[in-house]
Amino acid sequence: MILKQAATLSAFASVATAWLPEVNKQITSNNGTNLFTNSNGKIRGVNLGSQFIFEPWIAESVWKDMGCDGQKSEYDCVANIGQDAANSAFQKHWDTWITQDDIAEMQSYGLNTIRVPVGYWLKEDLVYSDSEYFPQGGFEYVERLCGWASDAGLYIIMDLHGAPGAQTAKNAFTGQYADSAGFFQDYQYERALKFLEWMTTNVHQNDAFRNVGMLEIVNEPLQDADQVSSMRTSYYPQAFDRIRAAEEQLNIDRNDYLHIQMMDEKWGSGDPNEALKDTYYTAYDDHRYLKWANVDVSQDSFISTSCSDELDSSTPTIVGEWSLSVPDDVENDSDWSTDSNQDFYKRWFAAQLTAYEKQQGWVFWTWKAQLGDYRWSYQDAVDAGVIPTDLNSVFHMGVCN
Ligand SMILES: *[C@@H]1O[C@H](CO)[C@@H](O)[C@H](O)[C@H]1NC(C)=O
Ligand SMILES: *[C@@H]1O[C@H](CO)[C@@H](O)[C@H](O)[C@H]1NC(C)=O
């Protein structure tokens, strides 16, 4: 493609942009490598789990070292140890959990994308100072990390993973362990909209964010279409209006607009397009965890279910979370042991990759964990030889033929 030359040159021109890699434009690392050439344009990524929203189960010993032992979420820890102690503990964590070496390692494994879960509290003036507790100072670490990823030629999906009021109850991924899902009301939507405008403006104005091409407007809302109807009819269309208005104000070319990503209809929170007037540069997210799906629990059934997985027909759909973890009640059985069943886990990885690359691609949950269980850690799975560094080699295994 003739665009290739231009794209390579623009890497030196420091132009902040947004796009879908290969589809809308090409990106290269600082040394000129296009990480999407080898993947045939498909997204092959990892989530930065527990980096900017800590989930204690992923890294219990780090959580303990931070002084958060026994606390269920960031909110609980900050409320418990106090703002100043929390700020320094979290800043140390942001500085050390995912480093530039991790980014280089991802790149060397043939990955080309990161999904960055963040909370609304990155925009610190949105936090109610008398009733909400979150660590402060995170934004500069998000910026630094996105700068490393952009230099490495990785595409970046910025994901509003923790929404105001919590989009689901009792789950640390929202940043709090809320009694109920409080997000689905107008004043909370307004706070999220302010976050999205602010993030959009940052992405387009700050060169560190030049490889952020997609902004997910809320991760995993309740899987109950009726309960979240105002999200589809009010929050989603307003999010489009406000993000596009911020872009228009900056005179961003339409080709450089952010892709706005929502959970797809298969997720179970209704049809995301229901009230959208304009679906220009939309994208969809689906999460696939057979661990929690209603399928026959056998290795053959996992492979065949993944091989025949029909993703949502909305395009582009990216499977933004999946893993190799199996149902709780068998995860520690010898029949499913990670030591003696490597062949199964290799084949299941291949089956999932094959299915997800029929659409736009995938982002594994998660890059790194302290579980000593490669089913939740891409890095550990590569170390164990379960995930190959030549990802195209999985197609030669013929798992789904
Ligand atoms: C650029 O970096 C990639 C990934 O580390 C490496 O595979 C490639 O050989 C490098 N290319 C050049 C031209 O140095
Ligand atoms: C499986 O073992 C791990 C590690 O010991 C443990 O954390 C986990 O809770 C166990 N799973 C179940 C369902 O008991």
Q: What is the mean pLDDT of the chain?
A: 94
Task: In whole angstroms, give the CA distance from residue 148 to residue 98.
Answer: 11
Q: Whose CA is nearest to atom 13 of ligand 2?
A: 328
pLDDT at position 5: 35
The tokens of 145 are what?
């990390």
Specify which residues 286 forms β-bridges with.
Answer: 319
**Is domain 3-60+97-397 given the CATH code 3.20.20.80 in the classification?**
yes
Query: Does residue 373's CB lie within 6 angstroms of at least one atom of ligand 2?
Result: no
What would the pLDDT profile of 252-290 be if each residue is shown by its tens digit?
999 999 999 999 999 999 999 999 999 999 999 999 999
Question: Which bound ligand lies closest to the C-alpha atom of 58?
Answer: 2
Question: Which bound ligand lies closest to the C-alpha atom of 57?
Answer: 2
What one-character-per-residue DSSP string does 345-381 give? HHHHHHHHHHHHTTTTEEEES-S--SSS-GGG-HHHH
Task: In whole angstroms, give the CA distance from residue 163 to residue 208.
Answer: 24
Task: In whole angstroms, give the CA distance from residue 146 to residue 156.
Answer: 7
Q: Is 321 a catalytic residue?
A: yes
Query: Does residue 372's CB lie within 6 angstroms of at least one atom of ligand 1?
Result: no
Rounded to the nearest angstrom, the distance between the alpha carbon of 281 and the centre of ligand 2 is: 42
Rounded (10°) angle between helices 83-96 and 139-151:
10
| Percentages of the chain per state (helix, strand, coil), in multiples of 5 | 40, 15, 45
What atom of ligand 2 comes closest to residue 371's alpha carbon? 4
Contact 201, 242 (CB under 8 A): no
pLDDT at position 24: 81
Q: Write down the catalytic residue from 220, 247, 265, 357.
A: 220
pLDDT at position 118: 98
Rounded to the nearest angstrom, the distance between the alpha carbon of 212 and the centre of ligand 2 is: 36
pLDDT at position 8: 35
Q: Is 190 a catalytic residue?
A: no
Which long-range CB contacts under 8 A does 145-148 form with residues at least 24 apart?
A: 145/48, 145/51, 145/98, 145/103, 145/116, 146/116, 146/208, 146/209, 146/211, 146/212, 147/207, 147/208, 147/209, 148/100, 148/103
Q: Whose CA is nearest to atom 12 of ligand 2?
A: 328
Q: Whose CA is nearest to atom 4 of ligand 2?
A: 371
The tokens of 75 are what?
């909110």
Other Cβ atoms less than 10 A from the Cβ of 48: the count is 27
Domain range summary for the chain, segments of one domain joined by +: 3-60+97-397
Task: In whole angstroms, give the CA distance from residue 374 to residue 382.
Answer: 8
| Residue 49 pLDDT greater than 70, yes or no | yes
